[in-house]
Structure 1
């Protein structure tokens, strides 16, 4: 549910400066407590780029996942991928644009300190969020692997040991209906339990009609209103055992089951004189036995411009495009307090099973479609120690991560003229040791704090693939496999000066690391078994945090400069059978610089305001292609120049019941999806302007009426609308390039949605 709409899990990585949103008081903006540096501290005291969204902020906007906060933070972008269970998060122009499960993301996602290893399956509901912390910039020391762009911490509510709970139901347009509930049970001696669950269903936001050209082409289309529909279930069990005054165990079991229809990938481009043009020498021989022979290009398109109506074919199995995912995860955290030190153990296991069927051409013809089945498992173990002695604060730890996956993809092209079955297997073993100290030297009246940290990471990656092309046998033989090891030292140095409790400045240097891997979808065995390089970033940041006017105004400002080496980017290459595949290429050097500002204010007892602005200038300094540096002709993907947001929380009345109007405005400039040429003729090469995501200006609004006394509890009624002005915008696209006729499909944002929720708390 965005501010009150869809319910999946994803979060717009928040501001590149510290901000504490939510938990406001009439007298001012109240800060919240965070654990971004693996210990408890005020957000204003954390000398890094961080935003925290509190429980009240999340509840006011009906947030249950990452996507629900998209657009609130500067220099942060979240892209839809066609799947309702995957997402791409970009912070400061660093992103992994492929969601293939054997590639690693650039932003680390954590649930109660447990690393979620893949962007595939990263969109999931969390029933009981306490807060969300977003750390911008490299977090290579305390967090480590795959956090060279930043990290997102999801922190859940823990059992209280006292009887209490809540229940909520809601309805909306497109047939949306949902229910969720949570209950804290009274403590059973040292044991406290909490149960939470949620169910959401919604019809599709796209109407799919029957084949509009029955006299021209025999297309496999199905009439349905289910495209982009949702059917989600989430359950969580949380248990806390206070074994002694100093020893605590927290266990959690999370279950998510999503059965949805794919988002609509609309056909947005085809080349003239390409394989789909019957007037071209390159025309694919009648597109399978003459079934589509001579079909004019305009009949591939559903209609001019963007429409919420679609005419599509099914997947290879003839099914409607769907996206199913089941997630089960267990975590156990033990904490032992030893006077001035704390020992912690975090153990976790995660299991993900998924399958989907995708129409990849956005037309009523079976040009390109795929069925996909996958299994993923991960295990992690971390030991942490933290404490304080005198003017020295320290944090250290050991970390181990293992994951393994197997996937099968069945692809069909040109009405079955070409069919390919791919089998993938991949595995990671990762080890790390880290330490960080914070020292207050006895100078400058103890106002100066110096921080230094270092992490050593070592990862071994394995990948294997076989590929069977119907009628031609194995084009990638069984046994095609690669293995490689990557390692790196990632330091951090910070100097912070406190003018007083409410004002400070800081300077920071940090390094981020993302290990290399294997292009398991590359066109040849040699390319599959040759690893791509690790990606490194060195980033410099200065910032200031101010709290003024007795806490009624809070302001944060950050400026940064980042140098990235061997940036891992996804591009499409031609493969056997006349098709294309997305592979990873190291793109040379990128320099990104920018500014980020955030302000929160409580100018009046009944008015709370917050706003943010981000400026990002990301450019390639080196991009070698065929021995030539083409950096000036290549855009950095997922790097909008300007982002901004404004939120107003107005108390309309506060007499018996409380009425509040919350309005959010979120802007993002347009950005590029791929690092393709800006100038090439689309008939000759991939042009970055085809499928370029749109600029967006979105407004969400919500009216909350709370404190309605009902028995021993209280009720809250909420009326909400997302995308108030029904803006139509392109979120992301897939550009297959000239080898596939210049075919490109685009994924559009959700239309205006609205509804009503009723909640009861006891």
Structure 2
């Protein structure tokens, strides 16, 4: 796969070079402009800048990419943005993002990859999967620690979802689509000025549903169904030429089912996406949303002040799932959980002489409630056992930060940044033996008034040099941290009272970005090395205080490192044909590990990190042309490849994920005048079936997997009013 990609890009470079050498001197300025790749503007450093002059390794998806490729949730980024992994892939499944082999952990805990919507932080991995709204203009994936500007819990990177602010340009459109497996969808966007006032507003919404990707052979019905509705409304008030306020409200209702991880591999007649469970239906209802207020005031050309206030919440009630898919239910859960989070950021940006700077403070307060009833039916038991775990977690994080760039010369600058933070977590945790209805029968333990805290400094130092008008070099060293804290839904009091320390990383990166062949070829490359201390992992049979703890404990396992190379390429082969490629080569290793058996042997030393594929690659072609009657066509084809990887520190073969290769395609036609637009999206064109999330519990006889979505296609028609 890699050889094919290299050969493709050698051909790209050769073709582009030949075109440059044979181009006529009489080519007009406008023709040269058309043949040039468009500039990419990002906000990676909290202010707008050209991507090719921003000293951060990143992958960027523009609005057209999101639409033609059918990007609707975080898991769609895996394989498309090099270095990104998202193990779980269904809408209501908690999704934890990994970058460069780090970040995928328990979704209920703090994450190593920060998620932000319009600079509002999303805490934990619950209710963060779906962002299928037509007002999204860009998704930025920033690789490497971003703690100075984005705070703790972005030690592996950050994912930024950016939506369009309301404008005075009146627009309204509505689209409807149908596809295979009963797919139905509707999306729309309205934007414009409210009368002659200084107010502009926008409303974006989407609804998607299907008949399910799976089948229950016992009940003879479709499962793994999708049913999601979302909206976002914005109101923008231009108070004066120097001051504006943007109020945003978004909401989500997800009634998809939770039959996503119950496809057994050890039942006679088992087949991918087929379940045999006679247990409860995968009932599910999630309500989520948020309210935010962005205030910005330009004091002068040298100083801008802004405030970002946000409140977000979600509630899963109920979430019912079977994890075995067996004719006799062996492991099932029914849970209610919810989160309420408040964040307030105050920020100032300015320029003083040769220094441009950003400084601010961020407070995040998060309350997480968890109530889970479980059924376990061991193979050796005569009857199932029932238990109930209740957790209430409150986490408060406060940070003060500043970052500035000093101009040393016309072409060279130095960046220095620092963030001071303090995080405090309190918890109550209890566990009960119950009956089948969830009524408490016997207290296993009750651990209340738990408290832990950590504080620290997250520095960043970098240097950049504009080698020429189109060539940019940079180097940086940065520190990042991910908060540890308590375990939720612990099965024993020892694991409930155990608080992990923060995971720490020191990251080194050297990069180069450039445009060549009169702007028809761009190439960004980054070489990185990450040194992790107190690596956080979920461990079973861990010895805590000299006592063997049988249930899983979120603990500091030891020391690890990752290193590799990122490469992003784009080329305008002809006026109408573009090619792109993104590739990452990654190596990872545990240098020290707290052995889960408590013995002196370091069994996992030398193992690869979980969800750290050695290769991830995406490459694509996009062709545009205008019809003779004035309509416009666009065709997009892409290949995504991720090499095989392990999902646990033990590198168990039974839990390994094989290599994944997918081909996607899309086409769109815009009628003359732009009133109508028709599009077709096809994902997993060759209908590959891969077990992307194995799940094994030997005492319960559970050996299941979540499979990737099969081939799906959707045909859409959109009308511009």
Fold match (TM-score > 0.5): yes
Q: Check whether the contact 2:62–2:139 (CA below 8 A) recurs between aligned residues.
A: yes
Moved over 6 A (4+): none
Q: Check whether the contact 1:258–1:324 (CA below 8 A) recurs between aligned residues.
A: yes
Shift of 1:252: 0.3
Residue 599 of structure 2 corresponds to residue 636 of structure 1: no
Shift of 1:65: 3.1
Q: Which residue of 2 aligns with 1:496?
A: 464
Residue 361 of structure 2 corresponds to residue 398 of structure 1: yes
Cα distance in 2, alignment partners of residues 36 and 57 from structure 1: 19
- From 333, 337, 359, the equivalent of 2:294 is 333
Q: Check whether the contact 1:177–1:202 (CA below 8 A) recurs between aligned residues.
A: yes
Shift of 1:733: 2.2
- From 431, 437, 447, the equivalent of 2:411 is 447
Q: Which residue of 2 aligns with 1:176?
A: 183
Q: Check whether the contact 1:465–1:476 (CA below 8 A) recurs between aligned residues.
A: no
Cα distance in 1, alignment partners of residues 176 and 330 from structure 2: 42
The equivalences for 1:274-293 within 5 A come to none
Q: Which residue of 2 aligns with 1:596?
A: 566
Q: Check whether the contact 2:512–2:525 (CA below 8 A) recurs between aligned residues.
A: yes
Q: Which residue of 2 aligns with 1:618?
A: 588
Cα distance in 2, alignment partners of residues 25 and 689 from structure 1: 52
The equivalences for 1:345-384 within 5 A come to 345-354=307-316, 355-384=318-347
Q: Check whether the contact 2:263–2:273 (CA below 8 A) recurs between aligned residues.
A: no
Residue range with higher mean Cα deviation, 373-382 or 201-210:
201-210
Residue range with higher mean Cα deviation, 462-471 or 429-438:
462-471
Query: Matched residue of 2:66: which SS?
Result: helix
Query: Matched residue of 2:129: which SS?
Result: coil
Query: Matched residue of 2:148: which SS?
Result: coil
How many residue pairs get matched?
669
Structure 1: runs of 5+ lacking an equivalent:
1-23, 211-221, 270-299, 679-687
Q: Check whether the contact 2:73–2:91 (CA below 8 A) recurs between aligned residues.
A: no
The equivalences for 1:65-76 within 5 A come to 65-76=73-84
CA shift digits 1:3-23 (9 cap, x unpaired):
xxxxxxxxxxxxxxxxxxxxx
Shift of 1:480: 3.4
Q: Check whether the contact 1:723–1:752 (CA below 8 A) recurs between aligned residues.
A: yes
TM-score, normalization by structure 1: 0.85
Residue range with higher mean Cα deviation, 517-526 or 29-38:
517-526
Q: Check whether the contact 2:388–2:431 (CA below 8 A) recurs between aligned residues.
A: yes
CA shift digits 1:684-719 (9 cap, x unpaired):
xxxx1112112100000112112443xxx5211112
- From 386, 405, 412, the equivalent of 1:438 is 405
Cα distance in 2, alignment partners of residues 742 and 735 from structure 1: 8
CA shift digits 1:503-526 (9 cap, x unpaired):
011111011111121123333213
Shift of 1:407: 1.5
- Residues 753 and 533 of structure 1, relative CA distance in 2, 3 Å threshold: same
- Residues 511 and 742 of structure 1, relative CA distance in 2, 3 Å threshold: farther
The equivalences for 1:107-506 within 5 A come to 107-127=113-133, 128-188=135-195, 189-210=197-218, 222-225=219-222, 227-266=223-262, 301-304=267-270, 306-314=271-279, 319-339=280-300, 340-354=302-316, 355-414=318-377, 417-442=384-409, 446-470=410-434, 473-506=441-474
CA shift digits 1:706-740 (9 cap, x unpaired):
2443xxx521111221101100111112233x5x2
Shift of 1:267: 5.4
The equivalences for 1:736-747 within 5 A come to 736=697, 738=698, 740-741=699-700, 743-747=702-706
Query: Matched residue of 1:672: which SS?
Result: coil
Q: Which residue of 2 aligns with 1:748?
A: 707
The equivalences for 1:9-158 within 5 A come to 26-80=34-88, 84-99=92-107, 101=108, 103-127=109-133, 128-158=135-165
Cα distance in 2, alignment partners of residues 267 and 179 from structure 1: 30
Cα distance in 1, alignment partners of residues 515 and 569 from structure 2: 10
Q: Which residue of 1 aligns with 2:575?
A: 605
Q: Which residue of 2 aligns with 1:665?
A: 639
Shift of 1:187: 3.3
Q: Check whether the contact 2:582–2:618 (CA below 8 A) recurs between aligned residues.
A: yes
CA shift digits 1:299-340 (9 cap, x unpaired):
x61535x423221132xxxx3023321112000010010111
CA shift digits 1:389-441 (9 cap, x unpaired):
22100110011010102121011122853100111110011110000110011
- From 583, 588, 591, the equivalent of 2:553 is 583
Q: Check whether the contact 2:77–2:84 (CA below 8 A) recurs between aligned residues.
A: no
Q: Check whether the contact 1:170–1:755 (CA below 8 A) recurs between aligned residues.
A: yes
TM-score, normalization by structure 2: 0.89
Aligned-CA RMSD value: 2.1
